[in-house]
Amino acid sequence: EYNASIEFYWAPFLVESNTEVNILEPKKRIIKVDSVSKQSKNWEGADILAFNTYVWWMIGLRLKTLWGSFANGEEGYAQLDTPVAYKIGLKTWANWIDSTINPNKTRVFFTTMSSIHSKSKDWGREDGLKCFNETKPVMKKKFWGSDSNKDMMSVVAGVINKMKVPVSVLNITQLSEYRIDAHSSIYTETGGRLLNDEEKADPGRHADCIHWCLPGVPDTWNQIFLAHL
């Protein structure tokens, strides 16, 4: 009734990488931190753009990062600390926004990191198995788990604060931190199929404490987004 279309565009790092198709091969991953041109051609002309990028960066303390062409291969990348690589990548994205987007025609949003709950000792359950069998939220005020990296959040704040085009930040991290009970856990899927009984019996290995049940927490994020709109 509003003559609107909604599109999801898969760009896990916003900038380019060599593993966007084979995303589950982190050891081969090289992130091209100086270009969004492959992705950005699909962003142009939108009335509203909502971005986020976080979890796929978190594969280790250092990342293989590249300037120039992937054709340089093994000789072309440098190892950088993850927050440093993240900052360079976000600056590339921010430069594209500032040089391309007309804020009178397009509204830009950035959603902060989605909380992960893989360490049950964070909320005082030493004998727990990640988020498995959690049925209530954490009730401690300002709870913050060790899987949410504040250095990465500060990178987002620092880059966005220096942009010319206004970006509305949807800060969903803290409110999602409490919801250790809301992940898909053993009722998740892997490789396009639900876990089998043997896998469900091993939650320490297979419980999914990254993704969320639907309906669930992401619907609250959408309500915040709708309120901004």
User: What is this structure's pTM?
Assistant: 0.92
- Say what the pLDDT of residue 213 is: 96
Percent of the chain topping pLDDT 90? 84
β-bridge pairing 31-32 and 16-17? antiparallel
Determine the pLDDT at residue 71. Answer: 67
Q: Give me the long-range contacts of 76-81 (CB less than 8 A, separation at least 24).
A: 76/30, 77/30
pLDDT of residue 152: 94
Q: Could you report the per-residue pLDDT of 49-77, keeping only the tens digit for each?
A: 999 999 999 888 899 998 877 666 556 78
H, E, C per residue of the chain: CCCCCCCCCCCCCCCEECCCCCCCCHHHCCEECCCCHHHHCCCCCCCEEEECCCHHHCCCCEEEEECCCHHHHHHCEEEEEHHHHHHHHHHHHHHHHHHHCCCCCCEEEEECCCCCCCCHHHHCCCCCCCCCCCCCCCCCCCCCCCCCCHHHHHHHHHHHHCCCCCEEEECCHHHHHCCCCCEEECCCEECCEECCHHHHCCHHHHCEEEEECCCCHHHHHHHHHHHHC
Low pLDDT (below 50) residues in the chain: none
Q: What is the pLDDT of residue 104?
A: 97
**What's the pLDDT at 206?**
95
